[in-house]
Structure 1
Amino acid sequence: MEVVSEDIPVVIAFTPNYFVPVATCISSVLRNADEDARFHFICLLTEALPEHMQQLLNELVGELGRFTFMDLTGTLSADIYVDPKYTIAASYRLLLPDLLPQYDKVLYIDCDMIFRNDLSELYHRVDLDDNYMAGVFEATLEQQLAHMQVIGCAPGTYINSGLLLMNLKKLREDGMVAKFLEAATQEGLEFPDQDVINQLCKGRIIGLPPFWNSIRTFLLPQYKADFLRFYTEQDWQTVQRKGNVHYTGPKPWKTFTVAFDLWWRYYFKLPKPMQALLIIPTKLSLLAKIYQTFLGKTILDGTRALYRKLKRNEG
């Protein structure tokens, strides 16, 4: 692959049935980037992406970037442990230092995200030095403490791998791909590729402000006390106001969930041929359209807030 120096490499791994969420995610990246930013989207695929889908993505990006589609079928050994809750695509990020020898640094993003901040700023302004990567540390919950102990990570030092600024040069120099793959054969890892990254890169990860990767527990008020054990009140407010939302729980294209309206706002901006590729239950589609109106959002948000208050009182 030819490298164009000004292109920001953004890697995203997915299966073809996630095509519309991928397009929605990429659209949010483009709409919130600096006007001079240009991206190289590198798609790691579990199977070849149909030609018409490739064409739709190229049309979506236009002059703002380009695509490389990499079919990685059979690339990973059958010994790699894959939890039934996830797909093999999630483990492709472990291969990036060797897959992309032409790049010293890349951004990796999960496709179930919506971006409200400029990824080009993150790419250019964070100096990785000799660290392996940068990302957002989760605010460890009490029920996660046992898992932290098992994998050898102190609370508050476990990174969520949904957004990573990766130092491919340093990872290559230290032969980390082979080490990643060996560690990934261990059965029973709760979050296979993420656990491996945390185990082997411990102490060599730069923590980013939490708004860069606002996972579900960063957004729900019942987890605020847990959040504040590791971050500040200002961090909390910034997450609520402009955090990049990572739908680590239920997906908004399947059900009503946290930051539901935000995902749909970007979906409705997609070209109609792209929208048509997502099969949506009629009731969910209607709810999404109602939520886009001021009155609908006010009523639904008020109802949800009341429900949460009643649940807290019951507890």
Structure 2
Amino acid sequence: MTIPIFYAISDDFTKYAAVSLNSLVKHADPSKDYTVYFLSQDLADEHKQDLVDLGSDNVHVKFFKINDEIVAPIENRQENYLRADFFTMSIFYRLFIPDLFPQYDKAIYIDSDTIINDDIGKLYETELGNHLFGACTDSSIQFVPEMLAYIKDVLALEPKKYINSGMLVLNCKAFRDEKFIDHFMDLLETYHFDCIAPDQDYLNEIGDKRILHLDPKWDAMPNENTEPLASPSLIHYNLFFKPWHFTAIQYEKYFWASAKETKFYPELKAELENYTDEQREQDRGKLDHMLAKEDKVVNDPNSWAQVKKRGSVSL
């Protein structure tokens, strides 16, 4: 039995994905077998080789090209922008994993801006039962009033149960049996919900009351409001504050420890050193821009909350 793990990347994100993959391989149980798939539309052969070179005897690295036909209904429209700033198709790839890989009844998805500090096979052992997927509460937003208001007033969900989609244990069989993708596409095309985090909001809405909430150590996110976890199993450098752009952020030591073991270390150090204070201020501005969407969509007649109130959508 192999443990299937999926990343979704674009070509320019290869170096960060390489650091994540290196940490995954380092902590993989030698008695288990793993297959890591990179989903992309534009991965260069050179970068494919870089990632293959990080594999091991029991961690096999493979690639899957997402063709335009698969994602054609997801248009470059404002409501599909990531964090209210730009459009990237790769955030939606994770939703298609169960249908694209029917050989798996369960799979793990993780974002590329992650570090794994434990055997990810332990995560795969999660018993999902009738849950659609397992994930962790989004800890990065629990002290952000605008996000809490957005989740309550626009999504009509409970903020403490709102999960982050950067780590998912997918019940692939349930996704297929319940035609998740058909349902997602129907909602996407019918309502054009204006979202702060498009894929994540849809997962929270469709999965509401069917989400298994996992130990927060499996999606530890840097923030300025809480003490860091002593032994995080998976670290997710969520939002804009990446260790290759900012210093003195929580959990940065884990990223650099893994980065040092890859060919990309000099490039990543140079990226940090060349990143200007002006760029950092722009990143902080992007966060403010993202949060401003709450004011814009709270009275939208086609917000999740309003559509659910009318009873015109079945989740």
Instruction: Give the shorter-chain TM-score range.
Output: 0.7 to 0.9
**Aligned in 2, Cα 1:181/1:78: closer, same or farther, shift over 3 Å?**
closer
- Are 2:49 and 1:46 equivalent residues in the alignment? no
1:132 maps to a residue whose letter is: L
| Aligned AA (1:241) | S
Runs of at least 4 residues off by over 6 Å: none
Among all aligned residue pairs of Structure 1 and Structure 2, give the percentage whose two residues are the same amino acid: 25
1:139-198 per-position Cα deviation (integer Å, ceiling 9, x unaligned): 433332221121121121111000000000011101111112233442421100000000
Counterpart Cα distance in 2 of 1:31 and 1:246? 17
Amino acid at match of 2:237: Y
- Cα deviation code 1:199-253 (max 9, x no counterpart): 0010111110101001223xx3xx23xxxxxxxxxxx67x233342111131112
Give, in whole Å, the separation in 2 of the partners of 1:166 and 1:19: 24
Alpha-carbon distance, 1:275 to partner = 4.0
1:85 is displaced (CA, Å) by: 3.8
Which digits, 9 at most, give the CA deviation of each residue in 1:257-282, with x for residues without a partner? Answer: 33222211100011x3x446658247
Aligned pairs for 1:1-315 (under 5 A) are 5=1, 7-47=2-42, 49-74=43-68, 75-80=70-75, 81-83=79-81, 84-85=85-86, 87-124=88-125, 126-139=126-139, 140-141=142-143, 142-149=145-152, 150-185=154-189, 186-217=192-223, 220=224, 223-224=225-226, 239-248=229-238, 249-256=240-247, 257-270=249-262, 272=263, 274-275=264-265, 280-281=270-271, 283=273
Contact persistence 2:128–2:134 (CA under 8 A):
yes
Q: Distance in 2 between matches of 1:187 and 1:246?
A: 26
Say if 1:184 and 1:193, in contact at 8 Å, map to a contact too. Answer: no
Instruction: Provide the C-alpha distance between the structure 2 equivalents of 1:85 and 1:118, rounded to a whole number of angstroms.
Output: 34
Structure 2 spans left out of the alignment, 5+ residues: 276-315
- Give the partner amino acid of 2:7: I
Alignment partner, residue 296 of structure 1: none
User: What is the RMSD of the two structures over their aligned residues, measured on CA atoms?
Assistant: 2.2
- With over 3 angstroms needed to count, the CA separation of the structure-2 counterparts of 1:79 and 1:35, relative to structure 1, is closer
Q: Distance in 2 between matches of 1:188 and 1:106?
A: 29
Conserved 8 A contact 2:3-2:35: yes
1:56, distance to aligned residue in structure 2 (A): 2.2
Q: What is the TM-score normalised by the length of structure 1?
A: 0.76
Code of the residue aligned with 1:169 in structure 2: it is: K
Aligned counterparts of 1:173 and 1:282: Cα–Cα separation in 2? 45
d(CA) in 1 for partners of 2:9 and 2:112? 7
CA distance in structure 1 between the partners assigned to 2:222 and 2:271 by the alignment: 23
The match for 1:295 is: none
Question: What are the superposed Cα offsets for residues 102-159 of structure 1, whole Å, 9 maximum, x if unpaired?
Answer: 11000000000111121101102x1111110001012433332221121121121111
- Quickly say closer, same or farther: Cα 1:133–1:284, change in 2 above 3 A: same
The number of residue pairs the alignment matches comes to 260
TM-score relative to the length of structure 2: 0.76
Name the SS of the counterpart of 1:242 in structure 2. Answer: coil
Q: For the Cα contact (< 8 Å) 1:24–1:266, is it kept in 2?
A: yes
> Once the 2 structures are TM-superposed, how far is the Cα of residue 37 of structure 1 from its aligned partner?
2.5
Aligned to 1:299: none
What SS does structure 2 have at the residue aligned with 1:181?
helix
Which stretch shifts more, 161-170 or 87-96?
87-96
Q: Give me the whole-angstrom Cα distance separating, in 2, the residues matched to 1:261 and 1:62.
A: 24
Q: Is the 8 A contact 1:46 1:88 kept in 2?
A: no
